[in-house]
Amino acid sequence: MDFLSLPPSYTTPMSVRGFMIFEDAKLPDSLAPYSDFLSKWGKKGAIQFIPLSEGSYWLAVIGLGKRVERSSDLTTLYRNKTAEYIRKGTTIGLKIFSLALPEPPTAASSKAIAEGAILGNYRFTKYRTTDTSPAATCESFFLEGGDLQAMEQGRHVATAQTYSRDLANEPGNVITPLIMADIAREIASRHGMELTILDEQQIQDKGLLALWHVGKGSKTPPRLVHLTYHPQGEETLGKIALVGKSVTFDSGGLCIKTRDGIKTMKCDKTGACNVLGIMNALPALQCPYEVHGLFGAVENMPDGNAYRPDDIIRTFNGKTIEIKNTDAEGRVTLADMLAYTSTLKPNAIIDMATLTGAAVTALGNYTAGLVSDWDKLSNDVLLSAEKAGERFHRFAMDDEKLREQIDTPYADVVNTGGPGGGVITAGMFLREFVDPTIPWAHLDIAAVDYYEKEFDCYGLGASAFATRTCLEYLLAEHK
């Protein structure tokens, strides 16, 4: 998609000029002939396309509903409505879009609208040999009065998210732990990043036995991946580590999932896909931090070599885990990855994981969980999420009675705390493997990872939720 500096001609085939309006707002002069429809168009969610000539120029009205006051709410609204404008316009074959806002664009709104344009243009149709839908692709986009530099930044942020979506939407027969390592290798080569990949023997030799045990039931061996981005110049604002869960397919292991529960488990690698998308975008965004992106890639499969309930596993930091549920495998792999990452001594660690079904029960399907004992880091992440237009709810880990649910007489910790308080007990489990002197936040994205229908800036399939939040965090200065 090209971001245009000049508007397209009114006679350009398959082009449209859109106007965003709030309820009860006055229509622009070019839409005055259609004022009878204002009450319908101004309502939140209503988008109307008006053909002016056959196969040529169109007009569109994008209703914004009631006026919002907070700037972050406004940019979120702009992002989402731009995505819907692009999605619906391409469905009727439009390819060239322009957009006018109800007020002059700022850098923040220009960035958000660029993100919406990229995200609304996204579809995963790689494996369709015949496509019966009439959808086109947005080729050019013009924002009247837009800040082109901010829009380019928005492009890189949204492209990181679509990059992650593409990977997460790939099925388990295409993306394996070995392929995840290959993708990291390609990113490192293209950007000149440092890369460490540990194979199955090196994983065992280094004592990452939790990661090894989860992956050893598959014929495809596990891999540990560590990418490092260094900012240009000698100055850096600090060292940040991102850790992603990377179960390329989760059958549940010997505690095998149900027929319904096993669906979409290709997306159990989304945390690591987000890490790859973020790392791929950092050079273009000129991120001022040294960033380490890590994941342990495994398949959780139930063969004769699979790990079992009642197994006791020693982890990288020496603590032991009693296994009670082989379908609580993500936290077992993350135990080693967080302990390994702690040895890097970063200023902060943020992990992303499709970790618990309890997140869906607690939060529904549109809000992710943030679990952390660190107020400053949590506030910074929540502020970044607000700017990114992603919803998070913070959970504290201060309930000692709840902590007892992951106690066991046979090991240091058990890998499931039962159904009650599952988001928090999962966080408490992970906390056992993080250096307590390092600020750490866990992002549970299980509730928001996959959507069965399009809405706002989310397409059908993997959402790559938390990508924009982490990039906002990495582009801000944290004192």
The reply to whether 325 and 357 lie within a common domain is yes
Is residue 257 among the annotated active site residues? yes
Average pLDDT over residues 451-461: 95
Same domain, 366 and 403: yes
Residues 6+ apart with CB under 8 A from 400: none
- Does residue 48 sit within a domain? yes
Residue 54 makes CB contacts below 8 A (sequence gap 6+) with none
Please indicate, yes or no, if residue 343 is contained in any of the structural domains: yes
Question: Which residues, at least 6 apart from 22, have a Cβ–Cβ distance to it below 8 Å?
Answer: 42, 64, 65, 66, 67, 102
Number of domains in the chain: 2
The answer on pLDDT for 84 being more than 90 is yes
Question: Is residue 37 located within the same domain as residue 65?
Answer: yes
Instruction: Please enumerate in sequence order all residues whose Cβ is within 8 A of that of 166, keeping only pairs 6 or more positions apart, or say none.
Output: 124, 126
Distance (Å) of CA 265 to CA 175, 251, 355, 412: 12, 7, 12, 29
Last residue of a domain, one of 143, 166, 197: 143
Residue 152 is assigned to a structural domain of this protein: no
Q: Which two tokens stand for residue 420?
A: 């009650």
The token duo for 49 is 């396309």
- Do both 96 and 192 map to the same domain? no
CA–CA–CA angle 246, 152, 41 (5° rounding):
95
**Between 321 and 10, whose confidence is greater?**
321
CATH classification of the domain holding 112:
3.40.220.10
Q: What's residue 128's pLDDT?
A: 87
Query: Does 118 fall in a domain?
Result: yes
Distance from chain centroid for Cα 235: 28
* pLDDT tens readout for residues 144-197: 999 999 999 999 999 999 999 999 999 999 999 999 999 999 999 999 999 999
Its domain, for residue 296, covers 157-475
| CA-to-CA dists, residue 436 to 210, 368, 403, 416, 433, angstroms | 20, 24, 16, 21, 9
Average pLDDT, the chain: 94
* Interatomic CA distance for residues 297 and 379, integer angstroms: 30
CATH number at residue 449: 3.40.630.10
Do 71 and 202 lie in one domain? The reply is: no
Q: Is 148 contained in some domain?
A: no
Choose the catalytic residue: 331, 387, 431, 468.
Answer: 331
User: What is the model's pLDDT at position 38?
Assistant: 54
pLDDT > 70 fraction of the chain, expressed in percent and rounded: 96
| pLDDT surpasses 70 at 37 | no
Last residue of a domain, one of 97, 115, 143: 143
Q: Domain for residue 328, yes or no? A: yes
Angle, in degrees to the nearest 10, between helices 467-475 and 375-388 = 110
311 and 447 in a single domain? The answer is: yes
Whether residue 162 is found in the same domain as residue 132:
no
Q: What is the pLDDT of residues 324-334, one digit of tens each?
A: 999 999 999 99
Residue 470 reports pLDDT greater than 60: yes
Question: d(Cα 274, Cα 270) in Å, to the nearest integer?
Answer: 6
Q: Answer whether residue 120 is part of any domain.
A: yes
Picking from 466, 470, 454, 368, the residue whose alpha carbon sits closest to that of residue 120 is 454
Q: Which of 118, 143, 168 is the endpoint of a domain? A: 143
Spatial separation of the C-alpha atoms in residues 372 and 375, rounded to whole Å: 8
Residue 384 lies in a domain: yes
**β-strand partners of 27:** none
Give the separation between CA 452 and CA 447, rounded to whole angstroms. Answer: 13
Secondary structure, 3-state, the chain: CEECCCCCCCCCCCEEEEEEECCCCCCCHHHHHHHHHHHHHCCCCCEEEEECCCCCEEEEEEECCCCCCCHHHHHHHHHHHHHHHHHHHHHCCCCEEEEECCCCCCHHHHHHHHHHHHHHCCCCCCCCCCCCCCCCCCCEEEECCCCHHHHHHHHHHHHHHHHHHHHHHCCCCCCCHHHHHHHHHHHHHHHCCEEEEECHHHHHHCCCHHHHHHHCCCCCCCEEEEEEECCCCCCCCCEEEEEEEEEEEECCCCCCCCCCCCCCHHHHHHHHHHHHHHHHHHHHHCCCCEEEEEEEEEEECCCCCCCCCCCEEECCCCCEEECCCCCCCHHHHHHHHHHHHHCCCCCEEEEEECCCCHHHHHHCCCCEEEECCCHHHHHHHHHHHHHHCCCEEEECCCCHHHHHHHCCCCCCEECCCCCCCHHHHHHHHHHCCCCCCCCEEEEECHHHCEECCCECCECCEECCCCHHHHHHHHHCCCC
Q: What is the pLDDT of residue 55?
A: 61
Q: Could you tell me if 394 and 466 lie in one domain?
A: yes
Both 217 and 294 in one domain: the answer is yes
Co-location of 179 and 94 in the same domain: no
Tell me the pLDDT tens digit for each residue of 195-214.
999 999 999 999 999 999 99
Residue range 404-439, pLDDT digits in tens = 999 999 999 999 998 899 999 999 999 999 999 999
Distance CA 17, CA 71 (A): 25
Residue 331 falls in the annotated catalytic set = yes
Closest CA to 415 of 299, 301, 329, 354: 329
| Catalytic hit among 206, 257, 314, 319 | 257
**Same domain membership, residue 193 and residue 94:** no
Counting beta carbons within 10 angstroms of the beta carbon of residue 72, is it exposed (0 to 12), middle (13 to 18) or buried (19 or more)?
middle
Q: Are residues 135 and 173 in the same domain?
A: no
Note the pTM of the prediction, 2 decimals: 0.95
